[in-house]
Amino acid sequence: MDQTDPPDPLSDLRDRLRATHEAAARLAGDAPRVPPQGWASPGSGAEGAPADPGLGDELQQLVTVIASLRELVPPELQQQVTDLIRQVLVLVRAILDRWIERLEPTRGGEPDVEDIPIS
């Protein structure tokens, strides 16, 4: 590759994907075992440090790959997806509002009463 050529983003993406694939294969190859502190979430121990320091690196690599993929998508398509997600969320909110409205009894109305004759 010539020094005047810009770096190839696809080559960089391939390298990141390869590193992520190797990390996933390494994790898949480990035998399932109970961690020393049980199934407690990382950072819930006395020291507050994660049990596996390499896990943060692998998560960072995954986030980097996702960010790289997002950069490859044209801005117009990103905007269309954003608008679609917004419309779906508005639809879900309207459905939930309607559902809650049907579940709630009507308030403020007079209760139905019946006179009971006393003999």
Fill in the amino acid letter for 88. V
pLDDT in tens for each of the 119 residues of the chain? Answer: 556 677 777 888 888 888 988 888 887 776 666 666 667 665 555 454 555 566 788 888 988 998 888 888 888 998 998 899 999 999 999 999 999 888 876 666 677 788 888 87
pTM for this prediction: 0.36
Cβ neighbours around 51 below 10 Å, total = 15
Fill in the amino acid letter for 47. E
Kindly give the residue spans of alpha helices, DSSP state H, lying in 1-119: 9-29, 53-72, 75-103
